Amino acid sequence: MVASLDARAAALRDALIDQGLISGHQVEATQALVDGALAPANGARVVARAWVDAAYKDRLLANATAAAAELGIEGIEGHQMVAVENTESTHNVVVCTQCSCTAWPLLGLPPDWYKSLPYRARVVREARALLAEMGLPIPDRVAIRVWDTSGETRYLVLPGRPAGTDDFSEGQLAALVTREAMIGVSLVKLPHAK
């Protein structure tokens, strides 16, 4: 029987600690980094700020790295970030065709499906069909732009703000934004919306 991924990761961690190759403190520090500095909640804050502050949105689209830094968000794998905006006529989606690069400070570590060969190959060849299979049908009248992120340039999708959120605070808006929406494989929706 094959152990679960979590069980295998724990066994590897324990073996590395037992061999003295890493310390428990290093494991805790790395976990804190992933849970805090490299979290999708950071990107959600950036998106929400862009939705409520037109000048910030302009700065984000001009230089996402600098705009994120304005909110104290920066770090590893975030030296050259670019934001691309979804509009009524264009839907953006992000992929790394070579491996699994993402804008870590804004999106956190990439999800498993993002790293999968089928996603990486199909989103480039047949983005409309793949997005529909993932639950996001894009009308034919909307162009789809696929952005191939790399070690040099990391992309963030600025999704459209959902209708009915005019009275939402910035924090309430940020709570709606998912990593999937910032990659471009889902839309931001109100919790009760289908």
Active site residue ranges: 96, 99-101
Please give the structure tokens belonging to residue 179: 């990593």
In the block, tokens 């909110």 appear at: 71
φ/ψ of 145, rounded to 5, equals -110, 125
The CA distance from 88 to 38, in Å, is 30
The CA distance from 50 to 57, in Å, is 4
- What is the separation, in whole angstroms, between the first and last Cα of the chain? 39
